[in-house]
Amino acid sequence: MERFDVKRGVVKQVSAEGGLAALASRHFENVESSDDNSFAGSHDIMVEIGGHYCEKGALFINVRNVPPNFDDPEAMKTAMDSRRRWIVFLDDATGYNSKQRGDKAKEWGKKASKAKSAVSAAHHFIKMASDLSADIEAQAQAMIAEIEEALEANDNTRAFGRGEKLNKLLNP
């Protein structure tokens, strides 16, 4: 499952225009709606496409492709058309172009990495510190648990924010 950031206001706009399934049906052939903000379908080489907006405003998509017959020019045209439809669908569903989506994905990954780094540094600091009060250590352990929980829930923004607070707690 892939996660894509969605530009502010796009979910509301898509919902007003019939939902994510209506948007998907403009780009793909076989689309079924689960509710306003989710769909399942297929189109040519994309044998399974499913997606939904989450409550935090991100788009989660699951796609399973089959490779085309590379020796058949018509199959290649069909595959290229499917790819074009996929890109235009993502542009419409997220409000971002391909480059912007890539930049947002990098930013999302960096947040997770920095949160994990903060946890690692805190564990190391707690081991090495000899004059750390029990109260500060308890607060740090609680923050570490929150960060790990946020990372597991795929909430990198919250994990990153808690990681920064953890760093400030241990390095005043």
Q: 144 and 79, same structural domain?
A: no
Hey, what's the torsion of the CAs at 160, 165, 170, 171, to 10 degrees? 90
The domain in which residue 56 lies consists of 2-96
Number of domains in the chain: 2
Q: 149 and 71, same structural domain?
A: no
Q: 46 and 11, same structural domain?
A: yes
Average pLDDT over residues 97-108: 96
**Tokens standing for 21?**
């399934």
Residue 39 belongs to domain with CATH number: 3.30.310
Q: 78 and 16, same structural domain?
A: yes
Q: 63 and 84, same structural domain?
A: yes
Average pLDDT over residues 17-24: 91
Q: Are 60 and 67 in contact (CB under 8 A)?
A: no
36-84 residue pLDDT tens: 688 998 888 888 999 999 888 899 999 999 988 889 999 999 999 999 9
121-156 residue pLDDT tens: 999 999 988 888 899 999 999 999 999 999 999 899
Share of the chain above pLDDT 90, in %: 72
